[in-house]
Structure 1
Amino acid sequence: MSHEGAGRRSVMRSVAFLTTGVLAVPALAACSSEEKEAPPTARQDLGSASRAKLADGATARWAVDALPKTLNAYQSDADEATSRVAGAVLPSMFRLDAQGRPARDADFLESAKVVETDPQVVLYKLDQRAVWSDGREIGAADFVAQWHALSGKNSAYWTARNAGYNRIAKIERGDNDLQVRVTFKKKYADWRSLFSPLYPKQVMGSPDAFNEDARKALKITAGPFAPEQRKKGAKASEDRLTLVRNPRWWGERAKLDKLVLRAVPAARRLDALRKGEIDIAALEPGDARRISGAAEGQAAGGAPAAGPGAARGPAQALRSWAVVHGSDEQAADKEKEVRAKAERARQAFAEEQQGLGRYEIRKSLEPAFTQLALNGASGPLTDDRVRRAVARAIDRGRIARSVLGPLGLPAKPVGSHLALAGQLGYADGSGALGAQDTDEAQALLADAGWVPGGPLRKGGKKDEETDARADTGTEKGTKDTKKSEAEAPGSDGGDEGKKTARPSGEAGAPDDGKAAQDKPHSQPGGAPGAYAPKGTAAPGGSTAGLLAKDGKALTLRFVLPSGPGSRSLREVGADISKMLGRIGIRTQLVKVADEDYFKDHIAAGEYDMALYSWPATAFPATDARPIYAKPVPAADGSLNVEQNYTRVGTDYIDQLFDKATTELDSGDVAGLMRKADARIWAAAGSLPLYQRPQLVAVRKDLANVGAYGFESPRYEDIGFLKSAGHGGPAAHRGTPGAGEPGKDQDRAKEDESAGSGKEKAADKEKATGGEKDSGRESGKPSAEPSAEEKGGTGPDKKSGKPSAEESPKASDKESGAADGRESDKE
Structure 2
Amino acid sequence: MKKKLKSLLGIASALVLASVALAAAPVANAAGGISINAQPVSKLKQGGTLTLPILYPPIQYNISHPDGNDADVSGMMGMTLPGFIYFDSAGKLQVDKNYASSFTQTKTSPQTLSLVLNPKAVWSDGKKISLADFVGTWKALNGKNKDYEAVSTQGYEDIASVKAGKANEIVITMSKPYPDWQALFSGLMPTSLTKDATTFNNSWREKPLLGSGPFIFESANADQTTVIWKKNPRWWGPKPLLDKVIYRAIPPSAQYAALANGEIQYMDLATDANSLKLARANSKLQVHDVPGVGTWEHIDMNSKNPILADVNVRRAITVALNRQVIAEANTGLFVKDVKVKNNRTFYEGQACHKDASGKYGKKNTALADQLLDQAGWTVHTGTGNDSTGKPKVSGMRYYSGPAKPGLVANQPMTIKFTYPTNYPNRANIATLTQAMLRAQPIGIDLQLREVPRADYFSKYVDSTLLDFELVTFAWSGSSFPIAGSMNLYAKDSEQNYAVDSVTAAMDALIKKAESELNPVKRCEYANQVEAALWNNAYNIPLYMWPGTSATTKNLANFGSFGPSSLDWTKVGFTK
TM-score (norm 2): 0.84
Distance, in Å, in 2 between the alignment partners of 1:591 and 1:675 is: 35
Say if 2:278 is the partner of 1:291.
Answer: yes
Q: 2:466·2:497 contact (CA, 8 Å) conserved in 1? A: no
Q: Does 1:362 align with 2:219?
A: no
What are the within-5 Å matches in structure 2 for residues 751-770 of structure 1?
none
Partner SS state of residue 564, structure 1? coil
CA distance in 2, matches of 1:253, 1:680: 47
- Say which is worse superposed, 593-602 or 402-411, in terms of deviation: 593-602
* Distance in 2 of aligned mates of 1:381 and 1:704: 46
**2:134 aligned residue (137, 143, 148):** 143
Check conservation: 1:412, 1:690, Cα contact below 8 A: yes
Matches of 2:157 and 2:91, distance apart in 1: 25
Structure 1 partner of 2:200: 210
Match of 2:104 among 87, 91, 113: 113
> C-alpha displacement at 1:687, in angstroms?
1.1
1:49–1:426 CA distance, 2 compared to 1 (3 A): farther
Deviations 1:236-268 (A, max 9, x none): 795433322334433332122222222334454
The 3 A distance-change label for structure 1 pair 132 and 213 is same
User: How far apart, in 2, do the equivalents of 1:577 and 1:563 lie?
Assistant: 17
* Unmatched 5+ stretches in structure 1: 1-8, 27-34, 296-356, 466-542, 632-639, 723-826
Contact 1:432 1:679 in 2 (8 A): no
Partner of 2:40: 50
1:384 to 290, 296, 311: 311
* CA-to-aligned-CA distance 1:71-119 (integer Å, 9 cap, x gap): 2222221133321222111211233566877543232222222222222
TM-score by length of 1: 0.60
- Partner SS, residue 152 of structure 1: coil
Letter of the 1:701 counterpart: N
Q: Does 1:568 align with 2:429?
A: no
Write the distance in 2 (CA, Å) between the matches of 1:101 and 1:668: 22
Task: Give the Cα separation in 2 of the matches to 1:391 and 1:237.
Answer: 40
Q: CA offsets per residue over residues 583-635 of structure 1, 9 Å max, x none?
A: 3322232213135544555444454433232233344554434533348xxxx
1:423–1:123: structure 2 CA closer, same or farther, 3 Å change rule? same
The equivalent residue for 1:196 is: 186
Shift of 1:681: 0.7
Deviation at 1:420, TM superposition (A): 2.9
Distance 1:90 1:22 in 2: 14
Residue 617 (structure 1) aligns with = 478
Question: In the alignment, which residue of structure 1 is the partner of 2:245?
Answer: 259
Distance 1:288 1:573 in 2: 21
Closer/same/farther in 2, CA of residues 219 and 15 from structure 1, 3 Å limit: closer
Alpha-carbon separation, structure 2, partners of 1:200 and 1:213: 12
Q: Give runs of aligned pairs for residues 481-520 of structure 1, distance below 5 A.
A: none
Q: Counterpart of 2:67 in 1: which secondary structure? A: coil
Q: 1:96 to 1:554 in 2, by over 3 A?
A: farther
2: CA distance between counterparts of 1:409 and 1:23?
Answer: 30
- The 1:411/1:226 distance shift into structure 2, 3 A limit, reads same
Q: What secondary structure is seen at the aligned counterpart in 2 of 1:372?
A: strand
Q: Does residue 77 in structure 1 map to residue 31 in structure 2?
A: no
Alpha-carbon distance in structure 2 between the residues aligned to 1:163 and 1:714: 26
The one-character-per-residue Cα deviations of 1:473-493 (angstroms, maximum 9, x if unpaired) are xxxxxxxxxxxxxxxxxxxxx
2:570: which partner in 1?
Answer: 717
Deviation at 1:399, TM superposition (A): 1.8
Residue among 399, 403, 416 paired with 2:330: 403
Could you list the per-position Cα deviations for residues 465-506 of structure 1 after superposition, in whole angstroms to 9, with x for gaps in the alignment? 4xxxxxxxxxxxxxxxxxxxxxxxxxxxxxxxxxxxxxxxxx
Structure 2 residue matching 1:583: 3-state secondary structure: coil
Paired AA for residue 570 in structure 1 = A
Cα distance in structure 1, aligned partners of 2:533 and 2:357: 9
Secondary structure in 1 matching 2:417: strand
Which structure: greater helix fraction?
A: 1
CA–CA distance in structure 1, aligned partners of residues 88 and 503 of structure 2: 33
Hey, what does 2:95 align to over in structure 1? 104
Equivalent residue letter for 1:110 = S
- Give the number of equivalent residue pairs: 549
Q: Which position in structure 2 is the counterpart of 1:555?
A: 413
Q: Which residue of 1 aligns with 2:20?
A: none
Query: Is 74-83 or 433-442 further displaced after alignment?
Result: 433-442
- What amino acid is aligned across from residue 551 of structure 2 in structure 1? V
Quote how far apart the aligned CAs of 1:677 are: 0.5
For 1:132, give the aligned amino acid. W
Q: Residues 507-546 of structure 1 correspond to what in structure 2 (within 5 A)?
A: 543=394, 545-546=395-396
CA distance in 2 between counterparts of 1:157 and 1:101 reads 34
Post-superposition shift, 1:430? 1.3
Q: Match for residue 788 of structure 1?
A: none
* Residue 24 (structure 1) aligns with: 13
- The answer to whether the aligner puts 1:700 opposite 2:561 as a matched pair is no
Q: CA RMSD in A?
A: 3.4
Quickly say closer, same or farther: Cα 1:52–1:578, change in 2 above 3 A: same
Which residue, 643, 653, 662 being the options, matches 2:496?
643
Q: How far 1:225 moved relative to its partner?
A: 1.9
Q: Percent identity?
A: 27
Task: Give the 3-state SS of the residue equivalent to 1:552 in structure 2.
Answer: coil
Contact kept in structure 2, 1:393 and 1:441, CA below 8 Å: yes
8 Å contact kept, 1:121–1:184: yes
CA distance in 1, matches of 2:150, 2:557: 34
Closer, same or farther in 2 for the Cα pair 1:106/1:383, shift >3 Å?
same
Q: Distance in 2 between matches of 1:559 and 1:169?
A: 44
Other-structure match for 2:515:
662
Determine the structure 1 residue equivalent to 2:114. 123
In the other structure, the counterpart of 2:231 is 245
Whole-Å Cα distance in 2 between the matches of residues 196 and 440 of structure 1? 46
